[in-house]
Every structure is written in C-alpha cells, then in structure tokens.
Structure 1
Amino acid sequence: MINVQEADFDLNKQYTMLRAKDNTDGAIVTFIGLVRDFNQGHDVTGLFLEHYPAMTQKSLEKISDRAKKRFNVNQLDIIHRVGQLNLGDQIVYVGVSSPHREEAFSCAQFVMDFLKKEAPFWKKETRKQHNKDVWVETNQKDKEALKKWQ
C-alpha cells in the first residue's frame, strides 16, 4: 500500500493492518518522520510539501518494488503527507512486516534512505529568522546514506 495524502494517518490503524495480513511474520517495524523545529542549522516553524502526483506515485512504487526484491518482507506500506504541516506533525510512515527482524529493520531503512533522495517531494520550510519561507535542498547526509546499499 502506497498513499500520498494531505490527511494525517493513525499509527494504531496502520499497525493493526500490518499485523492482520500474514501469520508467518515474526517482526513488524514502523518508522514515522515528524516535522521538527530545527533543520540544517535553522529554526523551523512549519513545512510545506509539494509534489507532482503521477511522478511521486511512480517513484514510491519503484522504491517499494526494489525493497521487496532485496529483502524478505511480506508487507511494505508507505504513507507520505503533502501540504502544510506544523511542528510535530507526522510526515511519513513506513511499515514493514517480515518473518525476521533484521529484514524488517533493513527494509525500513532502505526505503527511507531512497525516499529522502529519490522521491520527488519539494519541501519549503518556514524559518523563524525573518519569518521567511525557503525551499530546502537535499541534505548531503541523505546523499551519503545511499552508498551503503550499493
């Protein structure tokens, strides 16, 4: 399941859906990314995420397909929010179920590393300094994270 949406998501609901799908799973790993108040040396007061729907969906499907081929997982769910988000709001959810914890953890990390670098989301932060909006460039740390998967 892959959803790009403005609405928030319910972690308990997502977990329950993952758990109900396959009784051979021994592990469920979830990751949630949140809007924080600090990024790349700047105080942040909000975040706006923009995307091109067809391109974004296709990119997330490609990341998901690569992850499923690489790791022994039974279920991989991705939800990414768009639109205006406030401090503390949930941005992204990755849920993985697998027979073994190592595969579930690795798969979730793989998805996030590729999502941060390859998924076509454009982020505009509202920064405390001068109360201005700034489009955010990809972080060097996110670029480096992909090297471990090669």
Structure 2
Amino acid sequence: MRHYELYIVEEDVARQYYGQESKLFYLFLEHEKAKGSQKEILRKQIEYITKPIPALLLQQKLKQDLMKIEGYRKKKNTHLIEIIDRDSKAELVIGSDALYLTAEGSFEIETMFFEILRKCEPAFFAFSISEHRYGWLKPLKQQDFLRTNPV
C-alpha cells in the first residue's frame, strides 16, 4: 500500500526550491520524526510555506471529473476509486492543510487523482515518507523563474 501527503506550497517558496525538492521533503520528514518543541517549530515552518487547501474547489472538481468512472464513490471529504478488474483502489481524504492519498494496485489509480489535482493548483507538492518519494504534481517551468526587468 502506498501513502502520500500533498500540500500546496506558496508559489514564491516553490520557485525558490525548484530543483531542490529534497530540502522540502526533509522538512516534512523531520516534522514526522520530531517530538515536543522541535515538532511545534517544524509545524510552524510548514504552515508558513504552505497554503490552506481550497476544499470546496477540490471537492467540486474531483466529483465533476470522477463521476464518469464506474468505481467512484464520495463520502464527505473522502473520494474513493476502486477498479475491481485491475485489483486497484485509491482513497483521497481532503484535510484543511493537506490531502492524504492511500493507494494499492496499479499506479494508474493514484495518477487519476494527481491529474485532476495538478489542474487545480500550480504548486502541489506530494511525498511518501515511507518510500522517500517526492515531487511536484505539476513541474514548474523554467521560464516561470526568469525575472526580467522592465525596460
């Protein structure tokens, strides 16, 4: 079973850490391991660099795009896709500051969620602590970082 957490990173932070995603991942990893006051400090750092989840927008977009899929169900803040003939299922839970995705079977099942989410926000950062995998759902384009001075 694969577990992912997804956060919306502030765009200026996303620009600054383009190509250095491992630093963001290790911030989340250290927060996961920390205890006491260190955990609180890391939580505040994460809150500072991330944005709240636009739950209503995501609910609407997910429901609109997934209603066509036969194995799709929704209950409150949880969206579930189950494709029996591929022995695959994925569950996405929408929280106030993060999304939580659990998937098993084909990687295609979580990609269905990722494709919808990447259209909603430009700076979704996803990671799996147990697998040490991380990255942007929508890779930032190099030209987004080029700043030109007006002539």
Judge same fold: TM > 0.5, yes or no: no
TM-score, normalised on structure 1?
A: 0.38
Of Structure 1 and Structure 2, which has the larger fraction of its residues in strand? 1
